[in-house]
Amino acid sequence: MIVACVLLQHYWSGGRVVHQKKPLPPSPRSRIALGLTSAAARGVFELQQCQECSKFQYPPAEMCRHCLGEQLIWCRADGAGKLLSETALHHSQNQFYADRTPWRIGLIQLNIGPTVVAHLAHDAELSPCPVIVDLRLDRSGRGVLVATSQQDTLPMPGNKQHSEMGCDPESRSILVTDGQSDVGQAIVRALAQSGAKNIWVGGGNSASKDTNFMALEKLPGVEIIGLDLTNPNNMQEQAKMLGDRVDIVINTVQACSVANTSSLTETQQASTEIELNYLGLLHLAQEFGPKIKHRSGQGHSVAWVNLLSIFALTNHPSQGTYSASQAAAFSLSQYLRSDFQAYAVKVLNVFFGPIDDIANELIPPPKLAPDRLAKDLVAGLARGVEDVYSGEFAQEIYSRYREDPKILEKELSHE
């Protein structure tokens, strides 16, 4: 009886379903080494650089190995190097790697100095040969080094070893919560073009269906469904019908108003923003979260995507209550990432600035084209990053935010 219980895919505990967790790569990292994870989550290659002797170093440490300097910062680095030697892992005490052997690893001399150990992509030739080293997130959500040939970039189709580190939409079944906006429609088109197997698109219950929205059903694999994030009964019904088949959930629902705190009307608009942008995401996670955990436990590579305004990071007074609702959704997304991590469910946040659509026609450029956002979203899924800053505006705000959040806050308050 005990053995039978262990073999169950999920079981009841304390009145709730607890899903069996699949083996993951080793995840403990020192606080210093988490700098690699931070860079991988943003899709960049960074190493520590000493500010006294300018040397790059790996692995990360508290002080420079060359001059013992303590002024070390994480900087963009050139990943070009030379594969010195390699081996293939055929046995492992870690269950994750034991299930996936053989697994190639190699010793690489970077042109900028350090010698690193990295996972090898299948296209990397036998040593010695030139390679490019990059940072990726593994299934445990930690940063690891991956090397590929200089002619190719990650992700690599057909490479089982490195498909573990992303969630390419090709051949996936995907739920897009709202396809009625320009952004939602662009995302559906991009997913269909990328080879998604099934795409369920929310919005079928709306009385206003424009031509572009209805045209989505003509795309291969697309089906329009009635999905209302504010209706618990509807959410339960759709999760029951679709949840066991969904590999990727993309939440595109957005409610935005230009509001202040001085009138009842604006307060009502703020309530709508919270109901859709925050509570809608919460309801979606409550119904589809357990389903997608179970899907991952069956061996599928799965992901969860949230679209968030860049003003989730810092409030913009012209959209004060909307920014607040986005900040709440961002915080909830961070919680979901923590909750999903043990089940290898990747959570991707796509941050955006003003969209180039009718609602923002009076806003001066730069504005983000919906097709650009959709392209960045698909690329972020394939690469397996955690945060994408789509477009010039979002990238600039993020850069200023990292430099000094307080200065950015004061600057925005006087725009």
Query: Residue 91 — very low, low, confident or very high, per pLDDT cuts 50/70/90?
Result: confident
Domain count, the chain: 2
Q: What is the mean pLDDT of residues 195-204?
A: 92
**Predicted pLDDT of residue 149:** 82
Query: Residue 11 — very low, low, confident or very high, per pLDDT cuts 50/70/90?
Result: very low
Same domain? For 105 and 179 the reply is: no
Same domain? For 195 and 55 the reply is: no
**Predicted pLDDT of residue 123:** 62
Contact between 377 and 350 under an 8 Å Cβ cutoff? The reply is: yes
- pTM given for the model: 0.86
Domain CATH number, residue 239: 3.40.50.720
Within-domain flag for 271: yes
Out of 162, 181, 204, pick the residue that ends a domain. Answer: 162
Query: Residue 206 — very low, low, confident or very high, per pLDDT cuts 50/70/90?
Result: low
| DSSP assignment string, 313-380 | SS--GGGHHHHHHHHHHHHHHHHHHHHHHTTT-EEEEEEE--BSSGGGTTSPSP-B-HHHHHHHHHHH
Same domain? For 147 and 220 the reply is: no
Query: Residue 379 — very low, low, confident or very high, per pLDDT cuts 50/70/90?
Result: very high
Q: What is the mean pLDDT of residues 328-335?
A: 97
Query: Residue 2 — very low, low, confident or very high, per pLDDT cuts 50/70/90?
Result: very low
Same domain? For 149 and 178 the reply is: no
Q: What is the DSSP letter of 110?
A: E
Dist CA 141 CA 137 (whole Å)? 5
Same domain? For 386 and 294 the reply is: yes
User: For the chain, percent helix, then strand, then coil, each to nearest 5?
Assistant: 40, 25, 40
Question: Which of 380, 397, 367, 320 lies closest to 183, judged by CA?
Answer: 367
Same domain? For 206 and 335 the reply is: yes
Within-domain flag for 212: yes
Query: Torsions phi, psi of 98, nearest 5?
Result: -60, -35
Domain CATH number, residue 50: 2.40.50.840
Tokens describing residue 403: 């430099």
**Predicted pLDDT of residue 14:** 41
Same domain? For 402 and 356 the reply is: yes
Within-domain flag for 314: yes
Query: Residue 124 — very low, low, confident or very high, per pLDDT cuts 50/70/90?
Result: low
Within-domain flag for 11: no
Same domain? For 210 and 85 the reply is: no
Out of 109, 135, 162, pick the residue that ends a domain. Answer: 162
Same domain? For 55 and 189 the reply is: no
**Predicted pLDDT of residue 205:** 60
Chain Cα centroid distance, residue 207: 32
Query: Torsions phi, psi of 145, nearest 5?
Result: -90, 135
Within-domain flag for 141: yes
Same domain? For 104 and 181 the reply is: no
Q: Give per-residue pLDDT as tens, 12-27.
A: 334 444 455 677 777 7
Query: Residue 415 — very low, low, confident or very high, per pLDDT cuts 50/70/90?
Result: low
**Predicted pLDDT of residue 12:** 34
**Predicted pLDDT of residue 55:** 96
Which of 81-85, 128-132, 137-141, 154-158 is predicted most confidently? 81-85
Query: Residue 182 — very low, low, confident or very high, per pLDDT cuts 50/70/90?
Result: very high
Q: Give per-residue pLDDT as tens, 292-321.
A: 999 887 767 899 999 999 999 999 988 889
Q: What is the mean pLDDT of residues 359-384?
A: 91
Which residue type occupies 334? Q
**Predicted pLDDT of residue 98:** 77
Q: What is the DSSP letter of 125?
A: P
The range of the structural domain enclosing residue 326 comes to 173-413
| DSSP assignment string, 139-161 | TTS-EEEEEEETT--SS-TT-HH
Out of 162, 192, 212, pick the residue that ends a domain. Answer: 162
Dist CA 106 CA 215 (whole Å)? 49
Within-domain flag for 179: yes
Same domain? For 289 and 386 the reply is: yes
Whether the bond between 102 and the residue before it is cis, its omega within 30 degrees of 0, is yes
Q: Collapse the DSSP code of 391 into the 3-class scheme (helix H, G, I; strand E, B; otherwise coil) and give the result.
A: helix
Same domain? For 156 and 183 the reply is: no
The residue with tokens 């202040």 is 260
Percent of the chain whose pLDDT exceeds 70: 86
Chain Cα centroid distance, residue 161: 19
Dist CA 38 CA 376 (whole Å)? 19
Within-domain flag for 7: no
Dist CA 87 CA 254 (whole Å)? 49
Within-domain flag for 19: no
Question: Looking at 197-206, 230-239, 404-413, which range is the least confident one?
Answer: 197-206
Dist CA 385 CA 380 (whole Å)? 6
Question: Which of 122, 155, 150, 149 lies closest to 137, judged by CA?
Answer: 155
**Predicted pLDDT of residue 208:** 56
Q: Give per-residue pLDDT as tens, 241-272.
A: 998 999 999 999 987 765 455 554 568 888 88
The residue with tokens 């307060």 is 267
**Predicted pLDDT of residue 270:** 86
**Predicted pLDDT of residue 266:** 66
Torsion of CA 153, 157, 158, 160, to 10 degrees: 70
